[in-house]
Amino acid sequence: MVIMPGESSYPSSLTFQPVLERIATEVAQTPGRGRPADYIPALAACDPRRFGMAVAELDGTVYGVGDWREPFSTQSITKVFTLALDLAREGDALWEHVGREPSGNPFNSLVQLEYENGIPRNPFINAGALVVTDRLQTRTGDAAGALLEFLRAESGNPDLAFDQDIAASEAANGDRNAALGHFMASYGNIDNPVPVLLEQYFLQCSIAASCADLALATGFLARHGIRADGGRLLTQSQAKQINAIMLTCGTYDAAGDFAYRVGLPGKSGVGGGIIAVVPGRCTLCVWSPGLDERGNSVAGVAALDRFTTLTGVSVF
């Protein structure tokens, strides 16, 4: 049974599968699915017609449709998890080095950094993610390894791995990220050597995971900071903070439109994936490689829009 628009009752688990199947049918009939990220050669060949979607409940039950078990390049989705891992370690001291405001500029822009003395606007633009990865590297000695270990544990999938071809492709085309790193280092906002930081960052973004993996791995944000094994990663307040930043900054400079259409905290990646959180209820991940001009999955945003419309579930 699909809950009709206008109804606000949260659906039982039995309704998730037909909701997902209905969404997949509608998405398949939608023309104009965008284009894969062509500035990363290893992603350019992805078929924009691919589509997968998964919903994970708080107890780890997962429902899916389409290519929901197909690994894809997570890219900027991983910024959520490195933020959580570093925030858990250093707390509010992190916010002295990166802001919490929407950028209003492209995710790899250099412009604002000079005006703001090397302090990135938020953790989800590339400059901000580099700062967070740098700080996690200082605290762990292996930021990408700590991230991979965390994702394996939360998803229950020990086979998650770096995609070395993707990492190499990004490194070969990473001049803008290198410029961001060196620029922030000139302001004293980077601790580690920039080449070390870039290696960690490109590995982080290269992790391949499926919709099922990522929906499960995001569950700690729906459980107010509690990990899959029952241990606490974040305080309830910190989980709220990350969800809030996802809502306002998680889809590049289209965050306002995403909040308007979907009404959930979300984080996209140029691999075509988007994760979303319904605090206290469930988490979602959708994947389709075709992107709009702002770097968000065309079919992914449409699918999440339909999900919140059909179920009546949102944070508003």
Active site residue 278: no
State how far the Cα of 48 lies from the Cα of 218, in Å rounded to an integer: 24
Active site residue 63: no
Active site residue 10: no
Cα 148-156-279 angle, rounded to 5 deg: 90
In order of 21, 105, 174, 216, 312, the CA distances from 108 in angstroms are: 36, 8, 11, 28, 34
Torsion of CA 166, 169, 173, 176, to 10 degrees: 20
In order of 26, 88, 186, 254, the CA distances from 258 in angstroms are: 19, 27, 34, 6
Active site residue 76: yes
Residue 230 makes CB contacts below 8 A (sequence gap 6+) with none
Catalytic residue (one of 76, 103, 288, 297): 76
Residues 130, 134, 140, 142: is their CA dihedral positive or negative? Answer: positive
Catalytic residue (one of 65, 262, 270, 301): 270
Active site residue 79: yes
Catalytic residue (one of 73, 98, 155, 252): 252
Catalytic residue (one of 109, 201, 277, 297): 201
Catalytic residue (one of 55, 73, 79, 169): 79
State how far the Cα of 296 lies from the Cα of 249, in Å rounded to an integer: 13
Instruction: List the catalytic residues.
Output: 76, 79, 201, 252, 270
